[in-house]
Chains A and B, each alone.
Chain A
Amino acid sequence: MEKKCFSKVNVLLAAVLVLAGLLAGCSKSGAGSGKADGEWAGQKINVQLIGDFAMETKTDPVTGESVKGVEVLKEEFEKQHPGATVEFTLMPWEGYTEKTQAMITSGDADVYQMPGTVDFAPQGVLEPLQPYIDKDEEFDLDIFIENQVEGWKALGPDDDELQIYGLPFLGDARFIAYDKQLFDEWGVEYLSDHPTMEEVAEKAKQMTGKNPVTGEQNYGIWFRGDWSSAFTLIDLAEGQNGSWGSGFAWDEIEFNFDSPEMVNGLNWLLDMQELAPEGLVSNQGNEKWLTEENNIAIMLNQGPGDTVKPAYAQGLEDRIGIAQEFKNDEGVGGLFAGSPITIAKDSENKDLAWEWVKFATSEFTQQYIFEEMGLVPSIKSAMEWDSVKDTELMQPVFEAMRTPWTPRYPWGSAQPRFILTSEVEAALTGERSAEEALTKAQKESTEWLDNR
């Protein structure tokens, strides 16, 4: 009898353990009913953020300084919205597309930082923001730096025209960076603010060889020949009044990869490769950039994340100059980049989510992301902050943010980008001529478009 009882206890215990395990596994962490009082009582949102965000104060690995966590944002948002609760899902950049897809498919968050808005909006998983903008008298799109809202417009599944699915949260831009010290040592005039391809080529050529002061081998130029090479080439075409093509919806897109401007641009890159260290096709040769021993004069297609914060952290801010990427006759050119903030279609608390979107683009949050994280703000008023004025390298970054190609290249994360990248690589590695490579890229991209 005693043994039987023991067995029953065993079975019961096992059942309880399994049930508890299942419940623990299936329940959302931190699920709660929110705070009892206030205008937003009981409402809760989960916000997904991508990058080096941390919940609590941490040490920045680049600057070595203490960086406040997003708990600062939580505290302020909940103070401004009594009764509301905000939680965060923080993820690194690595694999963010796949993770975002998984999260949004399973309805994990209400608000997403989403660089791939153009890919997610057509899936019908994002809330159009225009109705919220229209009914919110407090909110004005003019707060943003020019072109930022335009750049993030996308097509939803039922849209005929581009709509706002995300508002600019993190700013970003592409520009040409250069080492003033090498220019001085070679006696070459600094790059102009808006250099032409000819100017860059001429100066890069002058600074390739043995440095007249140090005797070290210097290289005139470097650009990444693999991952982002397609965008470098597109900008070169834009600089000659060309373009990647036209259209936004897949059934309207026409590629222009084999245009004379693109062929000319790729031939220019092939010429520039002769002035660069070996290995740019495998993202190598630039190891000394942003160090005291730098041996490269001009770096194409750079971003503020790679340049501004590390330059200040290394004490090299006076040595680095920033010039604009190649622009067309209308002053437009270069990759539009950054991260917008979006609301999930299946969010249960969309009004509160909208409040977060506004909060994310408010001065409080924008100042937090710049002063704590070193990320680029997206609002005009940032240019008046002392912290921004003290960071001289930020001024050309803001200018670059005003003039990129918008809206974002719709094929930027689709197969045509990989086809074009591979063909640029094929040309850079001598597999094919520039013309052959781009003819192949055009053919394959068009076939892909026809078959999708």
Chain B
Amino acid sequence: MKDKAEIENQFPAGTAQNGRLPARSTKKTSSPLTWYIFLIPSFLGILLFMIYPIFESLRLSFYQSNGTIEHFIGLENFKTVLTSGPFWNAVGNTFFIGIFQIVITIPLGFIFASLINSTPRGKNFFKVIYFLPNVTSIVAAAMIFAFVLHPEMGIVNYLLDIVGFPTPGWLSDPSTSKWAVILLAVWHWIGFVIIICLANLQAISPEMYEAARIDGASGLQQWLFITVPNMGGTFAFLLITGWIGALQRFNEVYVLGGPNGSPARSIQTMGAFIYERGFTGFEFGIASAATYIMFMIILVFTFINLKLSNMKI
């Protein structure tokens, strides 16, 4: 066993903290360089695939460009997009689908989470069952939903017919196609909402419920006056992330209605509008301008959401 003097020789006074051995002094001089070199590929990736496209897209938004031949036209692309009927139709569709997805999914997910949380048995089973849609690829899910909502052979219309309700054309009718997308979006997102709500529900102190029970509060009163107020942060989080996802919606509407959001542009979202003009019509300037306008819309809307929800980020 080494005596105290020997240890002090090896590690001069002041270098040991709380009896622990200090870190190797050599790390201080050589580690940063080594790790910066390791980080170069990531930095290059960010530079090439994130920073550069952002600025290139901004540049393109001032040009009439088909990818190779370009003419500077100033703000004309922005003017074209902002005065375009199909663009505002796409904005309207995006918000319509987003609003109803959020208004339906968050309360419904919270109710399901509360029921699962109060279930004495099988919590994990229900968590898995409800979360399954969320891990399903939205593209695959959209393809399946096209069958589920088939006007003649789909299971939804089959069930509606059994109970005597009208059987809509769903994806072949502009008045119902948005609701078909909302149905798919709610089905896909609700598992995530349930899991997030459950995490918060399980973090609420049991003592609060115990005290309420002693004071004679009913189950509904406990839920209304303890559970709901304690969920504020979670609701704000779901609201903001839900809106960002909803405003960027593309995959499912592309699968269900193609880039021009068939039928009659009824499910064309902002993302699909950008895809249609950029990648199928070779109007990269228009697509880039629409991307920046969409970015501004998301930015402003997220800012409003943050203010309304009092969420601090």
Chain A residues within CB distance 8 Å of chain B:
3-4, 7-8, 10-11, 14-15, 18, 21-22, 95, 97-98, 101, 105, 119, 122-125, 157, 225-227, 277-282, 284-285, 287, 413-415, 418, 421-423, 425-426, 428-429, 431, 444, 451-452
Q: Within the complex, what minimum Cβ distance (angstroms) separates B29 from chain A?
A: 8
Q: Pick the contact of B69: A14, A157, A421 (CB < 8 A).
A: A157
C-alpha gap A219/B67 in the complex (Å): 45
Please tell me if the beta carbons of A426 and B264 are within 8 angstroms of each other in the complex. Answer: yes
Please tell me if the beta carbons of B37 and A11 are within 8 angstroms of each other in the complex. Answer: yes
Q: Pick the contact of B283: A105, A227, A415 (CB < 8 A).
A: A415
Q: Pick the contact of B258: A22, A97, A227 (CB < 8 A).
A: A227
In the complex, 7 of the A-B residue pairs with CB atoms within 8 angstroms, ordered by the A residue number, are A4-B26, A7-B34, A225-B263, A284-B146, A418-B281, A423-B264, A452-B283
Please tell me if the beta carbons of B40 and A18 are within 8 angstroms of each other in the complex. Answer: yes
User: Which residues of chain B are within 8 angstroms of A101 by Cβ–Cβ distance?
Assistant: 67, 279, 282
Please tell me if the beta carbons of A18 and B67 are within 8 angstroms of each other in the complex. Answer: no
C-alpha gap A414/B263 in the complex (Å): 18
**Shortest Cβ distance from A3 into B: residue:** B26
Please tell me if the beta carbons of A226 and B262 are within 8 angstroms of each other in the complex. Answer: yes
Please tell me if the beta carbons of B38 and A123 are within 8 angstroms of each other in the complex. Answer: no
User: Which residues of chain B are within 8 angstroms of A4 by Cβ–Cβ distance?
Assistant: 26, 30
**Shortest Cβ distance from A278 into B: residue:** B151
Is B153 in contact with chain A by the CB < 8 A criterion?
yes
Is B68 in contact with chain A by the CB < 8 A criterion?
yes
Is B172 in contact with chain A by the CB < 8 A criterion?
yes
User: Which residues of chain A are within 8 angstroms of B172 by Cβ–Cβ distance?
Assistant: 225, 278-282, 284, 429
Q: Within the complex, what minimum Cβ distance (angstroms) separates A15 from chain B?
A: 6
Is B92 in contact with chain A by the CB < 8 A criterion?
no
Q: Within the complex, what minimum Cβ distance (angstroms) separates A351 from chain B?
A: 24
Is B4 in contact with chain A by the CB < 8 A criterion?
no
C-alpha gap A31/B233 in the complex (Å): 55
Is B288 in contact with chain A by the CB < 8 A criterion?
no
Please tell me if the beta carbons of A279 and B264 are within 8 angstroms of each other in the complex. Answer: no
Please tell me if the beta carbons of B66 and A123 are within 8 angstroms of each other in the complex. Answer: yes
Please tell me if the beta carbons of B282 and A11 are within 8 angstroms of each other in the complex. Answer: no
Interface size class on chain B is 35 or more
User: Which residues of chain B are within 8 angstroms of A227 by Cβ–Cβ distance?
Assistant: 258, 262
Q: Mark B38-80, 1 if CB is under 8 A from A, else 0.
A: 1011001000000000000000000010111100000000001
User: Which residues of chain B are within 8 angstroms of A105 by Cβ–Cβ distance?
Assistant: 67-68
Please tell me if the beta carbons of A425 and B66 are within 8 angstroms of each other in the complex. Answer: no
Is B252 in contact with chain A by the CB < 8 A criterion?
no
Is B280 in contact with chain A by the CB < 8 A criterion?
yes
User: Which residues of chain A are within 8 angstroms of B256 by Cβ–Cβ distance?
Assistant: 282
Closest CB pairs A-B (n = 8): A7-B30, A282-B171, A226-B262, A278-B151, A282-B172, A123-B68, A281-B172, A426-B264
Is B312 in contact with chain A by the CB < 8 A criterion?
no
Please tell me if the beta carbons of A123 and B69 are within 8 angstroms of each other in the complex. Answer: yes
User: Which residues of chain A are within 8 angstroms of B280 by Cβ–Cβ distance?
Assistant: 97, 413, 418
C-alpha gap A226/B173 in the complex (Å): 12
C-alpha gap A331/B239 in the complex (Å): 60
**Shortest Cβ distance from A10 into B: residue:** B34
Please tell me if the beta carbons of A279 and B276 are within 8 angstroms of each other in the complex. Answer: no
Please tell me if the beta carbons of A422 and B150 are within 8 angstroms of each other in the complex. Answer: no
Please tell me if the beta carbons of A279 and B26 are within 8 angstroms of each other in the complex. Answer: no
Q: Pick the contact of A279: B86, B150, B260 (CB < 8 A).
A: B150
Please tell me if the beta carbons of A279 and B171 are within 8 angstroms of each other in the complex. Answer: yes
C-alpha gap A97/B281 in the complex (Å): 10
Other contacts beyond A282-B172, A415-B283: 15, CB < 8 A: A3-B26, A11-B34, A18-B38, A18-B40, A123-B67, A123-B68, A279-B172, A281-B263, A282-B169, A413-B282, A414-B281, A418-B259, A422-B86, A429-B264, A452-B64
Is B152 in contact with chain A by the CB < 8 A criterion?
yes
C-alpha gap A7/B33 in the complex (Å): 10
Q: Which one of B26, B263, B265 has the greatest number of beta carbons of chain A within 10 Å?
A: B263
Is B121 in contact with chain A by the CB < 8 A criterion?
no
| Known contacts A282-B146, A284-B146, A425-B264: A14-B67 contact under CB 8 Å | no
Q: From residue 251 to 284 of chain B, which have CB atoms closer than 8 A to chain A?
A: 256-260, 262-265, 276-277, 279-283
Is B2 in contact with chain A by the CB < 8 A criterion?
no
User: Which residues of chain A are within 8 angstroms of B40 by Cβ–Cβ distance?
Assistant: 18
Q: Within the complex, what minimum Cβ distance (angstroms) separates B146 from chain A?
A: 7
Q: Which one of B30, B33, B37, B174 has the greatest number of beta carbons of chain A within 10 Å?
A: B37
Q: Within the complex, what minimum Cβ distance (angstroms) separates A134 from chain B?
A: 27
Please tell me if the beta carbons of A21 and B41 are within 8 angstroms of each other in the complex. Answer: yes
Please tell me if the beta carbons of A124 and B69 are within 8 angstroms of each other in the complex. Answer: yes
C-alpha gap A324/B301 in the complex (Å): 54
| Known contacts A10-B34, A14-B34: A98-B279 contact under CB 8 Å | yes
Please tell me if the beta carbons of A285 and B264 are within 8 angstroms of each other in the complex. Answer: no
User: Which residues of chain B are within 8 angstroms of A413 by Cβ–Cβ distance?
Assistant: 280-282
Is B307 in contact with chain A by the CB < 8 A criterion?
no
Q: Within the complex, what minimum Cβ distance (angstroms) separates B123 from chain A?
A: 39
C-alpha gap A123/B106 in the complex (Å): 49
Q: Which one of B151, B264, B265, B279 has the greatest number of beta carbons of chain A within 10 Å?
A: B264
Q: Within the complex, what minimum Cβ distance (angstroms) separates A122 from chain B?
A: 7
| Known contacts A21-B41, A225-B172: A422-B68 contact under CB 8 Å | no
Please tell me if the beta carbons of B258 and A226 are within 8 angstroms of each other in the complex. Answer: yes
Q: Within the complex, what minimum Cβ distance (angstroms) separates B167 from chain A?
A: 9
